[in-house]
Chain A
Amino acid sequence: MSYKELTIWGTLGVTIGLLIYYLTGINSLQTNGNLSQDTMVSYLYKVVITAVILEIIMQSVLAGIKHKEADLGDDERDKLIELKSAKLGHWLTSAIILMCVFLATQIERVSGRMLLPEVSDLYNIMHYLIIGFLISEIITTASKVYFYRRDS
């Protein structure tokens, strides 16, 4: 398996792990009765820092193992696959943002009936956006894996 494919599998694993880590963390805070806007934000920072550290470790380990390929950079096929996946990611992210904008316009109707009643509506929308972005990233990265596997 090429360096490029390995990093994509790694990123996919890290992103799925982060989604699970975020959802279980928020769920655990809610179950223990500790969920508030402050705990939610501090947990979010924790998730972001974990994401950055995991990505750096993964990239460094893979670059160390496959240093020759890592120095080569992207060729034309890599760029094409990157573009196809980015296009998909763009559509998904746009759809998620539009859904959240729609939700914001209906805020008076849905207020108090959102997933996390412990925090404000704004934080609930932020919660949906985070989940949406992570799912969008997972689908985008999975599409890259698909394009690489299909052509090899």
Chain B
Amino acid sequence: MKKQLSNTIRELRFHHNEMTQQALAEAVGVSRQTIVAIEKGKYSPSLEVAFKIAQLFDKKLDDVFSYQ
């Protein structure tokens, strides 16, 4: 079976005062549409953006992204 990259960004945003996709996008320097695509698992971000997202939520990379 083909492995897929999934993430917990939606959940993490919820636990960070329901942070909006726009606020997250501005914090990591991408567009809101890119955050939408990442959340849905339709776009795999670069390592740089992935680390920025993880650091923003004060999590390790594999707490945010998983490949299974």
Find residues 1-37 in chain B having any chain A CB closer than 8 Å to their own CB: 29-34, 36-37
B37 CB contact (under 8 Å) in A4, A69, A72, A151 = A151
A4 near B31: Cβ-Cβ < 8 Å: yes
Residue of B nearest to A75 (CB): B30
Residue of B nearest to A81 (CB): B43
B56 at the interface (CB under 8 A from A): no
Residue interface bits A9-47, CB-to-B below 8 A is 1, else 0 = 000000000000000000000000000000000000000
User: How many residues does chain A have at the interface if contact means C-beta atoms less than 8 Å apart?
Assistant: 13
A108 at the interface (CB under 8 A from B): no
Q: Chain A: interface secondary structure?
A: helix
In the complex the two chains form, what is the Cα distance from A78 to B43 in whole Å?
11
Q: Chain B: interface secondary structure?
A: loop
How many inter-chain residue pairs (CB < 8 Å) link A and B? 35
Chain A hits for B34, CB < 8 A: 75-78
Closest CB of chain B to A68's CB: distance in Å? Answer: 10
Residue of A nearest to B28 (CB): A75
In the complex the two chains form, what is the Cα distance from A151 to B33 in whole Å?
9
Using a CB–CB distance below 8 Å, which chain B residues touch chain A? 29-34, 36-37, 40, 42-43, 45-46, 49
Provide 9 A-B residue pairs closer than 8 Å at the C-beta atoms, listed in order of the A residue.
A2-B32, A4-B33, A75-B29, A76-B30, A78-B34, A148-B33, A151-B40, A152-B33, A152-B42
Using a CB–CB distance below 8 Å, which chain A residues touch chain B? 2, 4-5, 69, 72, 75-78, 148, 150-152
Interface contacts beyond A75-B29, A77-B33, A151-B43: sample of 20 additional A-B pairs, CB < 8 Å, sorted by A: A2-B31, A2-B32, A2-B33, A4-B33, A69-B31, A75-B30, A76-B34, A76-B46, A76-B49, A77-B30, A77-B37, A77-B43, A148-B33, A150-B42, A151-B37, A151-B40, A151-B42, A152-B33, A152-B36, A152-B42
